[in-house]
Structure 1
């Protein structure tokens, strides 16, 4: 028995270290050995078939199919509670509706994943990246649902009924993600050197706008200018356009009506449905559903086209249901718009923008709030030349997201509070998520500047166990506390998080007195390149079509 045990342990270690090798991944082995490469070996062994040897691909497919069945059960459970005639508090109903939406997304994501891998042991790099993103988002959606139910007040029996099965569901999704990653995802891509990035930038950095002559005339007559200076010969394809004007001079008077009129389930190669929003203040809550794909929303400029709301947790909304603007439909692009939540610091969590949209882009936008301003919830996202205002955890979530050339403005919080710019929510070591802040400027908003340094401001704190945030090539003013980073609670996540700084500048950028946590790093260019647009969000594959200015690698 001792000899057999040693053999199994050696095989388990060997597989765990070498699963990235396609040839080894094709070897049939027991579920016990496979499970040792996951975060939950014993749970993994309890769900996988243990009476036969299979490849990691077989086990991944089995686990993901099981995940789909489990998610369907969770969704049915949520739906059954929502059909109860009475007895549920409004916060509980809102939390359940959040779960209904999030679990519905998970059903779609798992079905898509199964279609991708059901009959193949190999995926192209881009397909593997897409699927890795979906499986990472499934865990995030599940966590948000669970957190929302646990936060409802007053406490209800629903919390107890969901707690144990949801914990097992989280483990199942984690196992599925681990098996997929070890079987299908190639090793980390290498970064490009500057000359190649500059060539790409000069080719795609500024693109023209391709639309019909009639639409072009409408746009130019209303805006008095073109979207971008054109160079490089590329074009952004627009297949249709509508105009929103609250004064009645366009096709619609509300943004929501224009979104409702957009086509559904369009493909990237069909071009954008463009919604041009004439300058004005639009007091409405905008939601762009999953089937509203490849929308481009263009305003007249920051503080000219303004979308505003004031929902907050203090007024009975969940954090997830509080945003002024929420987008799920992939391929979304926003340009020249202000999105704000005016609830104020006193109303606690109050989201201005919630972004669940894969391959989404915000360019020259202003996102204003206080606590929890910008929820970069999941998927792959890019923000360029944006202004972001807030107080506590005001850039938070678990997307794979890059902020480039943005202005970050910490504001004055409530008395007794301190500012934390980021609260990244990575819950699993195999998720491909994190927050990358590159060549941004971090300075105090006017109200915080007038506070004369009494309020402490930190780069971030670890909301979840594997929180991952990188600041690189950015300007940090003196408002940043010398320690740089704040704790969440005691020693939670200090040895599992990944916080890094690279080549920043300004009086707040010195790393001399930074925290000494095991998970904090001052990194070199070799590591920093992993968090660039090209490597971290595969931006070279999808950003050129948006026409938005970006830099592929390090600057």
Structure 2
């Protein structure tokens, strides 16, 4: 199930990389190449995830699929090598610009350059100034009682922000922002007030990928003043609170609580500012290119007798070594 799901995303990434090159313009080579690297890296991540999802039974069908996947991985890695060479060439022409937030901010905002003016405004405006498209409230004072109901009303492939105001409350639901739901914005009443809570975990038979209390796949997602948690506990092993696999995604003043695998920073470009993330083992992990600005990473003790703790772990493979987590001050 995981393999089929992620390969569909990988095919999408390969297609949008091809489409991006069809409109190649030397004047915008830096942006085009960064998009291509991001999406090819995404495709490679999905291919590796599929390969790792096999049960290693050694059946003939599994062996044949694994061989095909390894060939696909090699082709995608070759594409990344081509991008690297083009980056080297355009760098010589002074067309490349680095994308870390501290080097791409407009003015002194410290934000990545892919954050538009409209999105910057959403980060600082009061909710009364924003006029949300939908309001979620458990007490009946909003348009919807659950976040999932509000997401069902979001137009697909929307080009501008669709703001969902989530009033104070603990929302015990598995929330998924599908790939077709672009530019969705969650605004809460505070990370300790508006909270999405779940308890799916590996010990109970759920694949790590699917344990996420909150998963976002739609590009351009933003969350502000929100809390996310997986309450399964240390004894339940892998139990993800947040899985992020949407490009150009922002979390501002959010809290993510869990134990093992709290934040699955899966792939693409992400920016976290003024966030708190708690956990024990690999509690920030994945293959994304992410900046954590002025964030608090809090190590939790799995049990009173335990002394084994684990720091954040960005993934890297021989064919895709340039993924990284950057932890910075503002």
TM-score computed with the length of structure 2 as normaliser: 0.86
Q: Distance in 1 between matches of 2:290 and 2:47?
A: 20
Q: Structure 1: how far apart are the matches of 2:264 and 2:182?
A: 20
Distance 1:413 1:240, change over 3 A: closer
Residue 98 of structure 1: how far off its partner (Å): 1.7
Is residue 342 of structure 1 aligned with residue 199 of structure 2?
no
Larger Rg: 1
For the pair 1:245 / 2:170, whether they are aligned, the reply is no
Q: Which residue of 2 aligns with 1:524?
A: none
- Contact 1:355 1:378 survives alignment (8 Å): yes
Task: State whether structure 2 residue 27 is matched by structure 1 residue 137.
Answer: no
CA deviations 1:68-117 (Å, max 9, x no partner) are xxxxxxxxxxxxxxxxxxxxxxxxxxxxx222221111111111112222
How far the C-alpha of 1:168 sits from its partner, in A, is 2.3
Per-residue CA distance 1:375-420 (angstroms, 9 max, x = gap): 1100000000111000000000010000011111100125556211
Aligned position for 1:111: 15
- Partner residue in 1 for 2:243: 354
Task: Flag the 1:281–1:113 CA change in 2: closer, same or farther, 3 A.
Answer: same
Q: Does 1:170 align with 2:73?
A: yes
Provide the residue aligned with 1:88 in structure 2.
none
Aligned pairs for 1:188-199 (under 5 A) are: 189=97, 199=107
Distance 1:276 1:318 in 2: 31
Contact 2:269–2:290 under 8 Å retained in 1: yes
**Residue 426 (1) aligns with residue 319 (2):** no
Give yes or no for contact 2:135–2:144 (8 Å, CA) kept in 1.
Answer: yes
* In structure 2, C-alpha distance between the alignment counterparts of 1:147 and 1:370, rounded to whole Å: 22
Structure 1 equivalent of residue 161 of structure 2: 272
Task: Find out whether 1:126 has 2:49 as its counterpart.
Answer: no
Deviates more, 1:366-375 or 1:258-267: 258-267
Say which SS state the counterpart of residue 165 (structure 1) adopts.
Answer: helix
Q: Does 1:181 align with 2:84?
A: yes
Whether the 8 Å CA contact 1:132–1:432 is kept in 2: the answer is no
Task: Classify 1:426/1:184 alpha carbon distance in 2 versus 1 (closer, same or farther; 3 Å).
Answer: same
- 2:27 is equivalent to residue 98 of structure 1: no
> In structure 2, what is the equivalent of residue 259 of structure 1?
151
The equivalent of 1:492 in structure 2 is none
Aligned to 1:326: 215
How far does residue 201 in structure 1 lie from its aligned partner after superposition?
2.6
Cα distance in 1 for partners of 2:193, 2:202 equals 28
In structure 1, the partner of 2:109 is: 201
CA RMSD of aligned residues (A): 3.0
1:336-362 Cα shifts (integer Å, max 9, x gaps): 111000111111111000000100000
Matched, 1:311 2:200: yes
Task: Please show how residues 194-233 of structure 1 align to structure 2 within 5 Å.
Answer: 199-201=107-109, 208=121, 219-220=127-128
In structure 1, the gaps of 5 or more residues are: 1-96, 211-215, 221-225, 227-237, 440-550
Alignment partners' CA distance in 1, 2:135 and 2:172: 17
Distance 1:437 1:120, change over 3 A: closer
Question: Which residue is 1:463 aligned to?
Answer: none
Matched position secondary structure for 1:339: strand
Specify whether residues 373 and 159 from structure 1 end up closer, same or farther in structure 2 by C-alpha distance, changes over 3 A only.
farther
Equivalences for 1:323-472 in 2 at 5 Å? 323-414=212-303, 418-428=308-318, 430=320, 432-439=322-329
Q: How many residues align?
A: 314
Alignment check: 8 A CA contact 1:383 1:403 kept? yes
The answer on whether the counterparts of 2:98 and 2:104 sit within 8 Å (CA) in structure 1 is no
> CA separation in 2, counterparts of 1:165 and 1:179?
21
Matches for 1:67-106 after TM superposition, within 5 Å: 97-106=1-10
- After superposition, the Cα gap between the structure-2 partners of 1:375 and 1:190, relative to the gap in structure 1 and judged at 3 Å, is closer
